[in-house]
Chain A
Amino acid sequence: MSDRIRLKAFGMLAEKIGTDSLEIENPGSSEALKRQLLQQFPELQSLTFRMAVDRKLIQAETAISAGQEIALLPPFSGG
């Protein structure tokens, strides 16, 4: 079985990544995923965002397992 995860990007992150949804190889942890994203999409380096693993906002490095959904969440200020 392939070790893949699904990413969902919101707001400006979806613009920078070029899509709001994509499937990638599982890098194994939230920190590894972040490193990979920043390398692949350098524009993300200057952006603030949080991650949710299977719809739970994470507060520290978290292990990611196959099939999980990771949300990439930027703050919005508009009103």
Chain B
Amino acid sequence: MNMNRFERQVILPGFGPEGQAKLKQASVLVIGAGGLGCPVLLYLAAAGVGRIAVVDGDVISPSNLNRQVLYGEKDLGKNKAETAVRYFQEKYSDMQWTAIPEFITVDNAQAHIFHYDLVIDGSDNFPTRYLVNDACVLLKKPLVYGSIYQYEGQVSVFNVGSHPCNYRDVFPNPPAPQEIPNCAETGVLGVLPGIIGNLMALEAIKVLSGLGKPLNNKLLLFNSLNTQFQELEILPNPTTQSAIPTSWNEFHQRDYALGVEGVQQLTWNEAMKLMGQEVAFVDVREPGEEPPLECTGLVKVPFSTLSKELGRFEEAEEILFFCQSGARSQKAAQLLQQTYPDKKIFSIRGGINALKS
């Protein structure tokens, strides 16, 4: 029965039973089970990759459902890694699945990535992308990269071939937080991550089975509005390699969070100690972002309306901002500091995501 499941690819010239056996032997770690991760998982599972683990600490929210096609209305509020793995365990009995319901960090990256033959970067933020890139360089692990912005996408294959490239050969350092659009404000048509995720699954299958020519040393660009593909050649860049930690010790010490200049960041533990009468504790997420947080003294001022509500903070001596991942709250802190230079204003590092993991 299991062989039947793969019959139509096993009869392909150039793939054959050998290609199928290689997929069966292979293991893949998929980081992020969102817009890119969902299509990657669907096609790697259908193709018969033997062992797949899914890492994601996020929960499913209504705004995910236009593109994260593994999930439905009944899954709202559930963890993405666990929900995805449950779906596939029911679907296919001939694979090994692992759900890792946490975010990838400098503390867990080495242990998770070490056990797999190939890594998929389906994350949705720069800190995770640089962290995963650096960990894969240290482990010399093939990394299939994909990312999107509005109607466009990028795909590449890193740490593969005789002159392996990685993400820092393309973009040596992360952009400043001010350059990055807010995660709640960037629109996306679901089919775009569908296309980019499928290209990523294809690249993973090519690397694992030895089929065709993967996109190593190439960056593929796709524009969905004019349906144009373009390939750029990339080469190892010796001058950017210094940005990558040279040891695990150095990696563990590295702070991958993007910092806005002049904004003081606190951990949740440090923030909890500050809570009190004269402290405003402010959630700048937009309505509907999951999970909602309810507690006494919490003020909700969505980032999109913050600039019109600056007067609300006149009374507070200290202000603590948080958001989903810690980027918008830094912009909020920066904005408030300009208005109230004498107040103590902080942003909570990593946002709600850091609280969950």
> A residues within 8 Å of B by Cβ?
8, 10-12, 20, 46-48, 50, 52, 55-57, 59, 71, 73-79
Contact = CB atoms under 8 A, between A and B. Distances in A.
B223 A77 contact: no
B230 A78 contact: no
A79 B35 contact: yes
Contact of B233 (A8, A20, A57, A77): A57
B179 interface: yes
Interface stretch (B234-242, B307-315, B335-343): B234-242
Nearest to A20: B223
Contact of A79 (B122, B170, B237): B122
Nearest to B36: A79
A47 B148 contact: no
B188 A78 contact: yes
Interface string B91-133: 0000000000000000000000000000001111110010000
- The 4 lowest CB-CB distance pairs between A and B, nearest first, are A79-B124, A76-B149, A48-B175, A76-B147
A77 B126 contact: yes
B69 to A, nearest CB: 14
Given A50-B171, A75-B175, A79-B122, A57 B223 contact: no
Contacts of A50: 170-171
B186 A59 contact: no
A57 B235 contact: yes
A50 B233 CA distance: 13
Contact of A71 (B175, B186, B193, B232): B232
B232 A55 contact: yes
A76 B152 contact: yes
Contact of B152 (A11, A55, A57): A11
B34 interface: yes
Nearest to A71: B232
A78 B233 CA distance: 22
Which size class do B's interface residues fall under? Answer: 35 or more
B57 interface: no
Contacts of A74: 149, 175
B18 interface: no
Contacts of A12: 149, 179, 181
Contacts of B36: 79
Given A46-B178, A57-B170, A57-B232, A79 B149 contact: no
Contact of B234 (A11, A47, A57, A79): A57
A79 B39 CA distance: 11
A76 B219 contact: no
Contacts of B126: 75, 77
A14 to B, nearest CB: 9
Contacts of B278: none
Contacts of A52: 232-233
20 contacts: A8-B230, A10-B221, A10-B223, A11-B149, A12-B181, A20-B223, A47-B175, A48-B179, A52-B233, A55-B231, A57-B169, A57-B233, A73-B170, A73-B221, A73-B232, A74-B175, A75-B147, A75-B175, A76-B148, A78-B124
A71 B230 contact: yes
Given A48-B171, A77-B125, A56 B233 contact: yes
Contacts of B274: none
